[in-house]
Amino acid sequence: MSEMNENHTSTGLRLKIGLAEMLKGGVIMDVMNVEQARIAEEAGAVAVMALERVPAMIRAEGGVARMASPKLIKEIMAAVTIPVMAKARIGHFAEAQVLQQLGVDFIDESEVLTPADEAHHIDKHAFTTPFVCGARNLGEALRRIAEGAAMIRTKGEAGTGDVVHAVQHMRQITKELRQLTVAREEELYHLAKEHGAPYELVRMVARTCKLPVPNFSAGGIATPADAALMMQLGAETVFVGSGIFMKERATPLDVENDAKEREEAVSRARAIVTATTHFNDAKVVAEASEQVTGTMKGLAAAAIEERDQLQTRGW
Amino acid sequence: MTTERPSRIGVLAIQGDYAAHAAAFARLGVATEPVKTVSELAQVDSLVLPGGESTAMLRLLRRDGLDAALREFVHARPVLATCAGCILLAREVCHPHQESFAALDISIERNAYGRQNESAIVPVETTLPGGPMEAVFIRAPRILKTGPSVKTLATRDGFPVLVREGKILAATFHPELSDDQRVHELFLEMIRES
């Protein structure tokens, strides 16, 4: 059987979703260098996302945000034993081909980078490497799953340290899932049209009341309590970006040369991991919150003009 | 006829595919309890160590004495371990070296088949009744050596992938992600025996 066919079979999808299952109940951390990746692994991250700039820096610096350099990605892959993810631009299947060639464990087709296609997302069935994609509502999630995504994450508003949109998107997806379960059989055709999603997937989730792939959360999660909040709202794992390795909005902690700043990053990383596992035990989340020294200042998501939002990218 | 309470199966739920194990037992009509703390561990008679990331699990165990309680538990009670769980139980872990509970006399190499692109679903040879077994390998480890009291129950390319030593049943693959229920059924049998 050719490689192409293999990816289109249920076997290929089972393997992709299988890795997503292994990452449940954990924290996936954005890292920009080898030292940050090592700190993340030691703190108990289940995976790292290799990036040249975290979303807070992309937001502050502007310019075109692209796939990270293969050199950086390979260095990080060599430095840690946990899975390594990397981002490709929306629709940029050639970047995704490069990431697959490098052997990354998961590709994030991400709105945080500058989109490369204003209409089409990547045909993710064409790849052996699994994909994660962002979503703000059920229709968007199901469109990405139809294209082959093996994991969905709420988009939130990346690089802000403001959890409000991650909450909004998770509540929206779970609310729309519940609404499908009470719809009559003949109403599902119309709901499929309204959600802009394939009827077969709409019918499947109407029966199971859950997405057919793991549902994680991202975009503005900065503290142990933020992580506990998202897990209680139904996230199965959280992505943390700027919340661990940034001090001011566009300045990373110097974990390579400054022992005190390294310790601060370690304390934040460990605390978020602990709070994510014990999300339903307020005593443990309180202890974890107390261990954190310093938190990113953040940027209120409400102060961002809609045209400057990252979450509106993707279709 | 005994009036003892029914045996309770715990699933370590600090990280990983613990929900998939709970679902696999549910398909066999058996309830399980999630275990995240020492007090929850004290409530169960047997335990499942699921797949996931072994480095993350080790970090999360180092809290409130869960690692010490678990070490004692896995040396005394029935335990089913898959993938990362199997790594936690091994006598020796390499590539790279990391600490473990040394309750199962095997040497194991982490991520031995490669990265996610090398993950595979393959039929493996097994001595369990019913012929070859579908095995889901995800960034799987490889058992390099087994001690004299370890029984090999399934192999892939000559390497053990399902082993039993006393009350421990361990797989380098993920029976919880498969429709083949023989590994979970065997574990239920081991619980009844003990």
Written as six digits, the tokens of A19 are 């890795």
Out of B21, B86, B176, B184, the active site residue is B176
- Give the residue numbers spanning the domain of A265: 3-294
**B117, A26: Cβ pair inside 8 Å?**
no
> Which amino acid makes up residue B41?
L
Fold category of B9-193 in CATH: Rossmann fold (3.40.50)
CATH number of domain containing A250: 3.20.20.70
Question: Nearest CB to B14: which of A21, A25, A105?
Answer: A25
Active-site annotation holds for B97 = no
Q: Confirm whether A50 is domain-assigned.
A: yes
Count of structural domains within chain A: 1
State pLDDT tens for residues A61-119: 889 999 999 999 999 999 999 999 999 999 999 999 999 999 999 999 999 999 999 99
Within an 8 Å CB–CB cutoff, is residue A270 touching chain B? yes
What's the rounded Cα separation, in Å, for the pair B134 and A196?
Answer: 37
What's the rounded Cα separation, in Å, for the pair A221 and A241?
Answer: 8
**Which residue stretches of chain A are H helix?**
3-8, 10-22, 34-43, 55-61, 70-79, 93-102, 138-146, 164-181, 187-195, 199-208, 224-232, 242-245, 259-277, 282-291
> Which amino acid makes up residue B58?
L
Q: Which residues contact A42 (CB under 8 A, 6 or more apart)?
A: A266, B55, B59
Q: Confirm whether A300 is domain-assigned.
A: no
Cα distance from N-terminal residue to C-terminal residue, chain B? 17
The continuous run of DSSP H or E covering A153 comes out as strand A151-154
Q: Confirm whether A188 is domain-assigned.
A: yes
Within an 8 Å CB–CB cutoff, is residue B122 touching chain A? no
- Min CA distance, A202 vs chain B (Å)? 23
Instruction: State whether residue A281 is helix, strand or coil.
Output: coil
Within an 8 Å CB–CB cutoff, is residue B97 touching chain A? no
State pLDDT tens for residues B123-153: 999 999 999 999 999 999 999 999 999 999 9
**Which residue stretches of B28-152 are H helix?**
38-41, 54-61, 66-74, 84-89
Pick from B11, B25, B30: which is nearest to B175 by CA? B25
Pick from A86, A83, A96: which is nearest to A127 by CA? A96
pLDDT given at position A3 = 39
Written as six digits, the tokens of A98 are 């490069």
**In what order do the strands lie in the sheet containing B142-146?**
B90-94, B104-109, B142-146
Q: Confirm whether A224 is domain-assigned.
A: yes
Written as six digits, the tokens of A276 are 């994510």
Written as six digits, the tokens of A227 are 């992580």
What's the rounded Cα separation, in Å, for the pair A262 and B145?
Answer: 39
Task: List, for chain A, all residue ranges whose pLDDT scores fall below the cut of 50.
Answer: 1-7
What 8-state DSSP symbol labels residue A132?
Answer: E
What's the rounded Cα separation, in Å, for the pair A193 and A205?
Answer: 15
Sign of CA dihedral A202, A205, A209, A211: negative
pLDDT given at position A6 = 47
Q: Largest alpha-carbon pair distance within chain A?
A: 63
Pick from B185, B193, B177, B183: which is nearest to B19 by CA? B177
Within an 8 Å CB–CB cutoff, is residue B55 touching chain A? yes
Q: Confirm whether A311 is domain-assigned.
A: no
Written as six digits, the tokens of A119 are 């209409």
For A26, A29, A142, A153, B61, the CA distances from A235, given in Å and listed in that order, are 10, 15, 16, 8, 22
For A51, A111, A166, A314, the CA distances from A301, given in Å and listed in that order, are 22, 16, 11, 19
- Min CA distance, B137 vs chain A (Å)? 8
Q: Confirm whether A156 is domain-assigned.
A: yes
Pick from A102, A134, A98: which is nearest to A115 by CA? A134
pLDDT given at position B103 = 98
Distance of CA A269 to the CA centre of its chain: 16
Q: What are phi and psi of A131, to 5 degrees?
A: -120, 145
Contact A268, A253 (CB under 8 A): no
pLDDT given at position A306 = 83
What's the rounded Cα separation, in Å, for the pair A30 and A50?
Answer: 6
Q: Confirm whether A149 is domain-assigned.
A: yes
Pick from A174, A227, A315, A288: which is nearest to A29 by CA? A227
**A24, B52: Cβ pair inside 8 Å?**
yes
State pLDDT tens for residues B64-118: 999 999 999 999 999 999 999 999 999 999 988 999 999 999 999 999 999 999 9
pLDDT given at position B4 = 65
**B60, A82: Cβ pair inside 8 Å?**
no
**Which class for B24: exposed (0-12), middle (13-18), buried (19 or more C-beta within 10 A)?**
buried
- How many of the other CB atoms lie within 10 Å of CB of A248? 12
pLDDT given at position A1 = 34
pLDDT given at position A296 = 67
**B52, A25: Cβ pair inside 8 Å?**
yes
Q: Which residues contact A111 (CB under 8 A, 6 or more apart)?
A: A90, A134, A155, A158, A310, A311, A312, A313, A314
**A22, B16: Cβ pair inside 8 Å?**
yes
Within an 8 Å CB–CB cutoff, is residue B51 touching chain A? yes
